[in-house]
Amino acid sequence: MEQSFLEFQNVSFQYREDSPIVLDDVSIQVNQNEWVAVIGHNGSGKSTMAKLMNGLLSPNEGYVYVDGLLLSEENIWEIRRKVGMVFQNPDNQFVGTTVKDDVAFGLENHGIPREEMVKRIAHSLKAVGMEEYEDHEPHRLSGGQKQRVAIASVLAVAPSMVILDEATAMLDPKGRKEIMHTVNQVRQERDVSVVTITHDLNEVTLADRVIVMNKGNVWFEGTPRELFEQKEDLQSIGLDIPLVSKFAHELKGLGLDVKTQPLNHEELMDELWTLHSTT
């Protein structure tokens, strides 16, 4: 059985007593080394969920467990060290005048000794392919490079889980691809769990599992393939499916026997070849 790293048990949350309930009795888990994508409408509670995952917020009801620890005042710093977060706008995340200083800042906050810091800075910048930029000014980097430095700063603290809250939203398609590639590589090399909150459906196809949030509830939980098989249901809550999935649904609509819901161009081509050779 897969080992759960993070668990929400019947978590409910509202920002103020007189404001609407943002999360309503949510129970989810993220396994060790798993990549979970969270999607849903604006305002469906995704970012709030992320902040509850690393103790930036605490639930009004229910329990949050991280690596077996129940989120509480006493272990909040340990939980924040275990769960790193990268946000949407890289420019708001920089504090140092050089890339190296910036990564060092998070380590200083966690009281890491200087000698160890030097090693960790080099190691985490290498992990995201930014080792040659350690003396550069963060503000002069491209959007994708900035986000890679932000990821390095999180990785340097040696978390067991990394949350990317719309971290690729401000990047072009090439930058997005690079970040997702980096994240997946880091996940494999460092055995971390990954949670990506996103509106990018191509990003969703890369995850092991998807959680769809709707009005503060978990509306769907399953693999990307299972999710995109149910085109009408998704559209009923105003969410779309990737272009290749749409194409496969069109083929099915024409009576063609598409066996597997394709998630990318390669899989779609395989399906087309199979159809071509059997019809």
Ligand X SMILES: Nc1ncnc2c1ncn2[C@@H]1O[C@H](COP(=O)(O)OP(=O)(O)OP(=O)(O)O)[C@@H](O)[C@H]1O
Q: Cβ closer to ligand X: 221 or 267?
A: 221
Q: Residues 44-63 vs ligand X: string with x where CB under 6 A? A: xxxxx---------------
Q: Cβ closer to ligand X: 47 or 153?
A: 47
> Which residues fall within 8 angstroms of residue 4, CB to CB, at 6 or more apart?
29, 30, 31, 32
Q: Cβ closer to ligand X: 15 or 273?
A: 15
Positions 1 through 20 that interact with ligand X (CB under 6 A): 15, 19
Distance between CA atoms of residues 60 and 240, nearest Å? 32
What SS3 class is residue 212? strand
Positions 122 through 161 that interact with ligand X (CB under 6 A): none
Q: How many chain residues interact with ligand X (CB under 6 A)?
A: 11
Distance between CA atoms of residues 267 and 244, nearest Å? 9
Nearest distance, CB of residue 22 and ligand X, angstroms: 4
What SS3 class is residue 250? helix
Q: Is 92 in the site for ligand X (CB under 6 A)?
A: no
Q: Cβ closer to ligand X: 206 or 212?
A: 212
Nearest distance, CB of residue 77 and ligand X, angstroms: 22
Span from 42-50, 79-87, 121-129, 175-183 in contact with ligand X (CB under 6 A): 42-50
In the list 17, 18, 42, 277, the residue contacting ligand X (rule: CB under 6 A) is 42
What SS3 class is residue 175? helix
Residues 250, 204, 13, 41: is their CA dihedral positive or negative? negative
Q: Is 43 in the site for ligand X (CB under 6 A)?
A: yes
Distance between CA atoms of residues 245 and 236, nearest Å? 16
Q: Any idea how long the chain is?
A: 279
Q: Strands of 23-31's sheet, edge to edge?
A: 23-31, 4-13, 61-66, 69-70
Q: What is the DSSP letter of 37?
A: E
User: In this structure, are residues 70 and 228 in contact, taking their beta carbons and an 8 Å threshold?
Assistant: no
Q: Is 40 in the site for ligand X (CB under 6 A)?
A: yes
Residue 168 has phi, psi (to 5 degrees) of -110, 5
Q: Is 80 in the site for ligand X (CB under 6 A)?
A: no
Nearest distance, CB of residue 136 and ligand X, angstroms: 30
Q: Is 196 in the site for ligand X (CB under 6 A)?
A: no
Largest CA distance in the chain: 67
Q: Cβ closer to ligand X: 30 or 248?
A: 30
Nearest distance, CB of residue 133 and ligand X, angstroms: 29
Q: Cβ closer to ligand X: 47 or 261?
A: 47
Nearest distance, CB of residue 162 and ligand X, angstroms: 17
Q: Cβ closer to ligand X: 42 or 92?
A: 42
> Which residues fall within 8 angstroms of residue 51, CB to CB, at 6 or more apart?
57
Residues that bind ligand X (CB under 6 A): 15, 19, 22, 40, 42-48
